[in-house]
A = this chain, B = another copy of it.
Amino acid sequence: MGKVELNKQEKENRLLDTAFQLFTTKGMKKTSISDIVNNAGVAKGTFYLYFKDKYDIADKLIVTKTRELCQQAAYRMLAADIQGAENRVIFIMDDLINELAQTPMLLNFIHKNLSWGIFRSALTRAEEKQELASVEFFQRIFGEEIEHWKDLPVMLYIIIEMAGSTVHSIILENDPMTLEEFLPHLHSSVRSVMKNFQVLE
């Protein structure tokens, strides 16, 4: 990569970082493109060399951040050597919740803008980049026991939505209860939902 390429990469990253910083502190609506370029120390026109508009940079951020979180969780799961798909799902979920609980702004940002579609593309694009692929991601979780489960995508969809939307208001507003109080309920709910998708022999 030549000097110019590196410089471009750095500019784009600086814009992404600054935008993320501002989106998570002031919120997307109150963050203007002027804010972003001023804080990033680049000219306004430069922004438009890299992104179509505010929503474009937001989408790219969500994809990036979501992928980072998932990868991190997957690596930790492997490191912790968790056995059994049910335990692994719970582990991943807890890891993500834990992470998001520490940066509520990120949760807020992701939640408001994340759709199932973007989520899928976050995992898919990782694949393209030879990083942790979505297929691989799920194989790491279900691995050897993949034939013991039916309708996996439906199950994951339900779990992701259930966990995502419940913890959102809990983390951001401690309402209707604290995360500590809620987690045991979430765990048992997830486990019982999963039971429905288990193939009994």
Interface residues of A (CB under 8 A from B): 115-117, 120, 151, 153-155, 157-158, 161-162, 164-166, 169, 173, 175-177, 182, 185-186, 188-189, 192-193, 195-196
Give Cα distance in the complex from A165 to B186, angstroms: 15
A18 to B192, CA, bound (A): 44
A116 cross-chain contacts in B, Cβ below 8 A? 169, 173, 175-176
The answer to whether B115 touches A154, judged by C-beta atoms less than 8 angstroms apart, is: no
Q: Can you identify 20 A-B contacts, CB atoms within 8 angstroms? A: A116-B169, A117-B173, A153-B176, A154-B176, A154-B177, A157-B166, A157-B176, A158-B162, A158-B166, A158-B185, A158-B189, A161-B161, A161-B162, A161-B165, A164-B165, A165-B165, A192-B192, A192-B193, A192-B195, A193-B193
Taking a contact as CB atoms closer than 8 A, the residue among B117, B173, B185 that contacts A151 in the complex is B185
A41 to B191, CA, bound (A): 55
Give Cα A196–Cα B184 distance, bound, in whole angstroms.
Answer: 11
Q: How far is the CA of A89 from the CA of B49 in the complex (A)?
A: 52
B162 touches A186 (CB 8 A): no
Q: Which of B115, B154, B166, B177 contacts A169 (CB 8 A)?
A: B115
CA gap between A116 and B176 in the complex, in Å: 8
Could you say which residues of chain B place their CB within 8 Å of the CB of A186? 158
Chain B residues with Cβ under 8 A from A176's Cβ? 116, 120, 153-154, 157
- In the bound complex, residues from chain B placing their C-beta under 8 Å from that of A165 are 161-162, 164-165
Across the A-B interface, the 6 shortest Cβ-Cβ residue pairs: A165-B165, A162-B162, A161-B165, A192-B192, A161-B166, A189-B193
